[in-house]
Homo-oligomer: A and B are copies of this chain.
């Protein structure tokens, strides 16, 4: 469904959000530990999320990653997925045709579009805030 990079990116962003809600910055090392992801690979992903403006990064001692607290509520899962995996999952044909087009549909078009749109709506309506809150109160987990 999502790429490994996207899975790591989502988990990392949620973890950073939890810390940011406590006005704490968090280091790459800690993120990778808590998210159970390879450190150097996670660094690349965070780097690109920083370029996308979803998270902020700071170098040096006391450096690390954080998220503007005012954004935590407005950032949606959709934004993270889109930043890492692009929009193929939201607009691409289920059978890989170059373009998904209702006027020249593939055999699964009608049935696939419904699923795809549901996914999109779900991602658009899911805020980083609610994901972070669920994690903070111990309702959900980033590794097992």
Query: Chain A interface (Cβ within 8 Å of chain B)?
Result: 1-2, 4, 7-8, 10-11, 14, 77, 89, 92, 94-99, 101, 104-109, 111-112, 114-115, 118-119, 122, 126, 131-132, 134-135, 139-144
Whether A144 lies near B108 (C-beta < 8 A) is no
Indicate which residue in B98, B108, B131 contacts A131 across the interface (CB closer than 8 Å).
B108
Cβ contacts under 8 Å, A132 to chain B? 107
Cβ contacts under 8 Å, A144 to chain B? 97-99, 101, 104
Cβ contacts under 8 Å, A96 to chain B? 2, 4, 7-8
Whether B4 lies near A107 (C-beta < 8 A) is no
Cβ contacts under 8 Å, A119 to chain B? 115
Bound CA–CA A97/B142 (angstroms) = 8
Cβ contacts under 8 Å, A10 to chain B? 95, 107-108
Cβ contacts under 8 Å, A134 to chain B? 107
Cβ contacts under 8 Å, A141 to chain B? 97, 104-107
Whether A97 lies near B143 (C-beta < 8 A) is yes
Given contacts A114-B122, A115-B122, contact A1 B94 (CB under 8 A): yes
CB distance from A81 to the nearest CB of B (A): 10
Cβ contacts under 8 Å, A135 to chain B? 107
Residue of B nearest to A4 (CB): B96
Whether A107 lies near B2 (C-beta < 8 A) is no
